[in-house]
Amino acid sequence: MQFIIDVLEQPYNWFYSFSIFVSLGIWLVSALGIFHSDTGADVSHDVHVEGGSFFDGIGEAIGFGMVPTSVLLTLILFFQGVTGITLNEWLLSLFAPEGAMRYLVLGGNFLASLIVGMVLAGVVSRPLRYIFKDYGTVTKAESVVGKIAQVTSGKVSTEFGQATLKLEDGNTIEIAVRITEQQNQLEYGQKLLILDFDKERNVYLVEKYD
């Protein structure tokens, strides 16, 4: 136990230790039911994926827009934290780099741990999609058809997209959205009109709202 504490207290592991404890803390509080069910939407209003199909593909792969963003981010932070500490302790003890080389190793570890964290979060988010199968929907999915929402992902395409929708009771939820092949991609911040609900994919079909 003391060994684990010593490892977590190393200055080069502070960020990873913080990431792990933040993730565990959020999971614990969520499990106790303290967070409101729409916490994921509140946390992720300012989170969007910029760029083209490459970044949209990454977002789709890791489950962005299919599980609450708060869950996805904590999964990435947790796995990056565990991976970062493991790599730091292994490589620093194996090579004992000094000076600039030490910082190069730490920087490489950060990038590697981030990639591993995203990959593992994507793997874990796949079964979680079934747990959150009602994420971003309302009691009757068809009841929001005809409503206006706003894009919160970098783009909305036929394969990827996320938007926020304000319900009549004042609550705001995130919904997974897609366009049809005949439409141009929608950009972050644009307003869209909800046309239909695809039950098979659990997504809303939308078009640009003029």
* Rounded mean pLDDT, 20-26: 91
Q: What is this structure's pTM?
A: 0.56
Q: At residue 77, does pLDDT exceed 90?
A: yes
Name which of 84, 131, 132 is nearest 109 in CA terms.
84
pLDDT at position 109, please?
A: 93
Reported confidence tier of residue 58, pLDDT bands at 50, 70, 90: low
At residue 147, φ and ψ (nearest 5 deg) are -85, 165
pLDDT at position 206, please?
A: 93
Q: At residue 9, does pLDDT exceed 50?
A: yes
pLDDT at position 10, please?
A: 85
Average pLDDT, the chain: 78
- SS3 at position 23: helix
pLDDT at position 132, please?
A: 65
* Rounded mean pLDDT, 64-85: 84
Structure confidence by residue, pLDDT tens digits, 106-144: 999 999 999 999 999 888 887 776 666 555 554 455 578
pLDDT at position 190, please?
A: 92
Beta strands per DSSP E along the chain: 148-151, 155-156, 162-166, 172-178, 186-187, 191-198, 203-208
Structure confidence by residue, pLDDT tens digits, 147-205: 999 999 888 888 888 899 887 777 788 888 999 877 888 889 999 999 998 888 788 89
CATH class held by domain 141-208: mainly beta
Domain ranges for the chain: 2-35+69-131, 141-208
**Percent above pLDDT 90 for the chain:** 25
* Rounded mean pLDDT, 73-83: 93
The 3-state secondary structure of 105-161 reads HHHHHHHHHHHHHHHHHHHHHHHHHHHCCCCCCCCCHHHHCCCEEEECCCEECCCCC
Name which of 84, 78, 162 is nearest 120 in CA terms.
78
